[in-house]
Amino acid sequence: MAQPKESTGEKFWDREALLAQRENALYAVEEELRKREEVILEREASFGAVTQEQAAREAALMGRELTLCETEALLDAREHVMDSAQNQASASELHALQTTALEKIQAQFDEREASMKAAEQALKEREVFIEQSENTIFEKGQKLQELETELEHLRDELKAHRRRD
């Protein structure tokens, strides 16, 4: 059952050669896969750029469509107003209504502006009052500190005077 050493050695070298061939084939397959993966990634990148460009175009088209719909709605509303104005009142009455509405809006605007100015003035007065109060408190604090220092000095003198007596 023992085989001669030469035949065992030949099988070993044959196996070694076979394994080397298989390993080389695997490396070749891996290299081919890597190349294909690079091609796929490049295609995906270009496809992604095309998709993004297409999405941007669609968004722009949707924006334009929305603008057109809004414009159409405004034109319909204007047409409806004009039809109503012709049926209900003359152009001078419509102008008078617009003028009255504008005057009311202006009056409201003036009221709000006046109240804002009054609030602004009140804020300025409050800031001045707070600043004056802070200054007064600071001055009184300094005076109290000076009085405290003077009292300490007088206490020390009194103690010194009592010790002498």
What token pair was written down for 52?
Answer: 């993004």
Work out the mean pLDDT of the chain and round it to a whole number.
81
Distance CA 38, CA 119 (A): 69
Contact 91, 85 (CB under 8 A): yes
24 against 88, higher pLDDT: 24
Does residue 16 lie within any of the structural domains? yes
Report helix, strand or coil for 103: helix
Tell me which residue range forms the domain holding 28: 8-88
pTM tops 0.75? no
Does residue 134 lie within any of the structural domains? no
Q: Would you state the pLDDT for residue 143?
A: 92
């030949």: which residue's tokens? 10
Task: Please state the domain count of the chain.
Answer: 1
% pLDDT > 70, the chain: 84
Does residue 64 lie within any of the structural domains? yes
Does residue 76 lie within any of the structural domains? yes
Distance CA 100, CA 104 (A): 6
Q: What is the pLDDT of residues 41-58, one digit of tens each?
A: 787 777 766 677 777 787
Q: How confident is the model at residue 1 (pLDDT cuts 50, 70, 90)?
A: very low
Does residue 79 lie within any of the structural domains? yes
Q: What is the pLDDT of residues 95-145, one digit of tens each?
A: 788 888 889 889 888 998 998 898 889 889 988 998 998 889 999 989 999
